[in-house]
Amino acid sequence: MTQLPISLSATVRGSGPGVLLAHGAGGSVAGNFTTLIPSLVAHHTVVAPDFPGSGASPRADVLTADLLADALVAQADAAGLDTFTVIGYSMGTLVSVRLAARHPERVRGLVLTAGLAKADNRLLASLDLWQKLLADGDLEAFARFTALSGFSPGFFNAMPEYQLPAFYNLLIKGVPAGAAEQAAVVQTTDTTGDLAGISVPTLVIATLQDTLVSPDNSRILADGIPGAEYAELDTGHITMAERPDQWSKLILDFLSRHGL
């Protein structure tokens, strides 16, 4: 077997049809999928890898969507999965689509939440700020930027002011070592040309109050993937914090409906 240039740490839980998880930039399995995994493992074998620089996965000098896609397939191989559904969130949607394009015989279905085919100008500007704050080591400002761009106004403003310092500190602790390299994947990847070739059942979930990855990007995914189903959640980008139950239900219903 060819040695891949990146290695991932992964957890495998449950039994049944395979599900492969692809988390977002600056995230992790624990941060993005903790609320979803317990619902999935009741009827599925869930393979949950952390991308380089998140969780226990070592950092990598260079990351691309292609490298990440192949590394996810390697984790599925290690878990004994011949085929699987890929559930991607944010950056993970880029990786999921690229995986389906590179390994179509392995993918049975796709779920794409808060996703995109290519970064638009607003996201590129946000990621420029993201990279500057990380390069400067200004995690205090980075936490505030995350709060502003990651959560809907209603969710953020409902938080009592006295809780804000603890909230910011929690966001700081959640920043993975590989956040900058992961953000660069979003800045440089374009999967637009892959969309028309996807032929598996696909669910696209738009996050309607998302000011980081505009819901227009989800509509581009849904329009570009033949036969894709489209759903909406009234939430900011970090949907697993704002609408975890509704998010899980959309995904579980889709998997059940298509026998995935």
Q: How far is CA 33 from CA 59, 139, 177, 258, in A?
A: 20, 23, 19, 21
124: helix, coil or strand? helix
Residues 21, 96: Cα–Cα separation, whole Å: 9
**In the predicted model, is pLDDT for residue 162 greater than 80?**
yes
What would the pLDDT profile of 118-156 be if each residue is shown by its tens digit? 999 999 999 999 999 999 999 999 999 999 999 999 999
pTM: predicted TM-score of the whole model, two decimal places: 0.96
Token pair, residue 54, equals 């998140």
Q: Which residues does 242 contact at the CB level (< 8 Å), separation at least 6?
A: 151, 152, 155, 235, 236
Mean of pLDDT over the chain: 96
Report CA 22 to chain centroid distance, whole Å.
Answer: 5
**In the predicted model, is pLDDT for residue 3 greater than 80?**
no
**In the predicted model, is pLDDT for residue 223 greater than 70?**
yes
Please report the pLDDT score of residue 260 as a whole number: 97
CATH number assigned to the domain covering 9-121+178-257: 3.40.50.1820
Task: Please give the angle made by the CA atoms of 98, 215 and 188, to the nearest 5 degrees.
Answer: 40
